[in-house]
Amino acid sequence: GTKFGCGVAECGACTVHIDGQPVPSCIVPLADAEGRSVTTIEGLSQDGSHPVQRAWAELEVPQCGYCQCGQIMSAVALLAQNPKPSEADIDKAMSGNLCRCGTYLRIRAAIHRAAELV
């Protein structure tokens, strides 16, 4: 599920969607989410069948996995707005997500693969 990473919106591990937009949940007061649509990683699919989740599994993206929920949520938001992102689009959309294991090349490949699956 959604992870607490840094608490200051620097790592992206806690990314959720609020009204369809990726947001670092660690800096959103609960009152600010009232009446809004909030989607966590669990809300993408019951069984991991969302195209981005399938691409992540197919390309074996996670190493430790801690940041991956946030990475996936950012990738889902990117593909919802831009179904065929360029490398620059991916860099911009994913810039708020850090991966200490350095799986950035696999993340990029999985986003391109998910774009094919959508």
Q: Within a domain: residue 63?
A: yes
Domains in the chain: how many in total? Answer: 1
Reading phi first (left if > 0) and then psi (alpha if -120 to 50, else beta), residue 50 is in: beta
pTM, whole model, 2 decimals? 0.95
Q: Within a domain: residue 41?
A: yes
Q: Which secondary-structure segment (H or E) carries 117?
A: helix 104-117
Q: Within a domain: residue 66?
A: yes
Q: Within a domain: residue 4?
A: no
User: What does each of the 118 residues of the chain score in pLDDT, given as a tens digit?
Assistant: 899 999 999 999 999 999 999 999 999 999 999 999 999 999 999 999 999 999 999 999 999 999 999 999 999 999 999 999 999 999 999 999 999 999 999 999 999 999 999 8
Could you tell me which residues are beta bridge partners of residue 38? 18
